[in-house]
Amino acid sequence: MDLQVLRSFRAVAEGTTVTDAAAEAHITQPALSRALNRLEDEVGAELLQRVGRVLRLTPAGRVFKEYVDAVLDSYDRGRRAVAEVVDPDAGLVSMAFLHTLGTWLVPRLVTGFRQTFPGVRFELSQDVEIGLAQHLLDATADLIITSKDPGHPLIVWRRLMVEPLWLAVPAGHRLAERRRVRLAEVADEPFIVLKPGHGLRGVTETLCRQAGFTPLVGFEGEEVETLRGLVAAGLGVSLVPASPDTATALPQPSADLPIRYLKVTDVQAVRDIGIAWLGSRTLPPAPQRFIDHAMSVTARMYETSAGRA
C-alpha cells in the first residue's frame, strides 16, 4: 500500500476532486482512479461512491479514513522527529493559542525563542477556548496556550502566569475617576463580552456570579479590541486582560481610546494562562525547548513586575 495513495484517498475523502488530487500527486486522473480501486480491493470494501459529480465516503470509508489519518499523522511525525535528531537546532513548533494572546504573549515568546533557535519554524493557529484541546487530540498542534487547564486525562497543562483583569469603563462613566471598584457596583449595567466559547467570556460570567449577579449582555464580540472600542463608545463596561507590563499599575487611557481601567476588589479578577501538550506523546526537541523557554520567559516577566511593585 503506497502512502501517496493514502494521501490521495484522504484528500478525496475531504472534498478534493480526483482530478485535483491527481495533480497534487503528479499522476494522471485515470492512474489515481485505478490506484483508489486497488486500495478498495486491498481493504475489501467500497470506500468511495459517486453522488452526483462528487465522490463521498461510504460507511466503510468513514471508518477506514480514521485509521488512514492516524497512519499518515504518525508517519509525518516520525519523519519530523528523525529530521530534528539529525539537525537538533532546526525543527517545527506547531502551536494553537487563544485569540487574546496573539497581540502580546505569543509574539513575545516566539521572537525570543527564534533569537536562540533561528532554524526552528512555527505553524501557528488561533482558536477559542473550547476548540484548543481538540488541536492536541487531533494531532494538528504540538502545544496549546490557553487560559485554563483543559481538564482532559490525556493532556498535561502547566501554568505560565496569572493574568490580571481590569474593569474597563468609558471615560465619562460615573466611576471613571475611581481607581478601584467592586464588580457588584456595575451589576445593573450592560457588559460588552466575547461570544460563548471564548475563555474570557466564561471567566467574566464566573466572576459576576461570585459578585452576586448575572451580567446583562449588551454586545457579544470576537476580539478584545472590539470590546475596548465599544466600551470607549459608551455602550457598556467590560472585563479585559492586562499584560504583565500593566500588572502592577493601572493601564493608561489614550486619546484614541478614552477608557478608564479600574481594579476590581470584591472578587479575584484574574485568569490563568498555561501551556499544554499530550502527555502520552514524546515531544520532538523543538516543542520541548519551547515549553522550557515559555516557562522561563513568563517567570522573568513576573519577577520584573514584582520588582516594580
172 and 238 in a single domain? The answer is yes
Average confidence (pLDDT) over 261-284: 92
Alpha carbons 304 and 194: distance in angstroms, whole number? 30
Angstrom distance (rounded) from CA 163 to CA 174 = 26
280 and 152, same structural domain?
Answer: yes
* Residues 24 and 165 grouped into a single domain: no
152 and 192 part of one domain = no
Q: Taking residues 127-147, what's their average pLDDT?
A: 89
263 lies in the same domain as 165: yes
95-122 confidence digits (pLDDT tens) = 999 888 888 899 999 999 999 999 899 9
pLDDT interval class at 290 (50, 70, 90): very high
Q: What pLDDT was estimated at residue 83?
A: 72
Please report, rounded to a whole number, the percentage of residues in the chain having pLDDT higher than 70. 90
Rounded distance, CA 97 to CA 100, Å? 8
For position 90, what pLDDT does the model report? 73
Residues 168 and 302 in one domain: no
Q: Which residues make Cβ contacts (< 8 Å) with residue 182, sequence separation at least 6?
A: 211, 264, 265, 266
What is the spatial distance between Cα 70 and Cα 224, in angstroms, rounded to a whole number? 36
67 and 53 in a common domain: yes
Query: Quick check: 166 and 176 in contact, CB under 8 A?
Result: no
What per-residue confidence (pLDDT) applies to 86? 66
Choose the final residue of a domain: 85, 108, 143.
85
Do 167 and 213 lie in a common domain?
A: yes
Q: Compute the average pLDDT of residues 285-296.
A: 93
Does residue 183 surpass a pLDDT of 90? Answer: yes
Dump pLDDT digits (tens) for 62-85.
Answer: 999 989 988 888 888 787 777 766
> Chain centroid to CA 50: how far?
36
Position 209 confidence tier, pLDDT thresholds 50, 70, 90: very high
| Most confident of the ranges 53-57, 114-118, 248-252 | 114-118
How would residue 302 be classed by pLDDT, with cut points 50, 70 and 90? low
Burial profile 174-211: b = 16 or more Cβ within 10 angstroms, e = fewer: ebeeeeebbbebbeeebbbbbeeebbbbbbbbebbeeb
The residue from 85, 118, 141 where one domain ends is 85
pLDDT (0 to 100) of residue 252: 54
Question: What does the mean pLDDT of the chain come to?
Answer: 87
pTM for the predicted model, two decimal places: 0.68
Domain ranges, residue 151 = 88-159+276-308
The greatest distance separating any two alpha carbons of the chain, rounded to the nearest whole angstrom, comes to 76
Structural domain count, the chain: 3
Q: Please tell me the predicted confidence (pLDDT) of residue 163.
A: 87
| 168 plus 267 within the same structural domain | yes
Question: What pLDDT, on the 0 to 100 scale, is given for residue 253?
Answer: 52
Q: CB neighbours (10 Å) of residue 265?
A: 13
Q: Which three cell numbers stand for residue 41?
A: 480491493
Residue written as cell 459517486? 50
- Alpha carbon distance 74, 276 (integer Å): 20
Q: How confident is the model at residue 88 (pLDDT cuts 50, 70, 90)?
A: low
Read off the pLDDT of residues 22-35 as tens digits, 9 standing for 90 and up: 998 889 999 999 99
CATH at 252:
3.40.190.10
As given in the structure block, the three cell numbers for residue 272 are 490563568
Task: Give pLDDT, residue 306.
Answer: 46
> Strands, DSSP E only, in the chain?
48-51, 54-57, 92-98, 121-127, 143-146, 155-170, 180-181, 190-194, 216-221, 238-241, 259-264, 270-278
150 and 283 in a single domain? The answer is yes
165 and 266 share one domain: yes
* Domain CATH code at residue 70: 1.10.10.10
State the residue for C-alpha cell 463608545. Answer: 233
**Percent of all residues in the chain with a pLDDT value above 90, rounded to a whole number:** 55
Residues 253 and 171 in one domain: yes
pLDDT above 50 for 213: yes
Q: Which of 101, 109, 86 is nearest to 147 (CA)?
A: 101
**220 band by pLDDT with thresholds 50, 70 and 90:** very high
CA distances from 66 to 15, 35, 45, 138 (A): 15, 19, 15, 11
Which of 53, 85, 117 corresponds to the end of one domain? 85
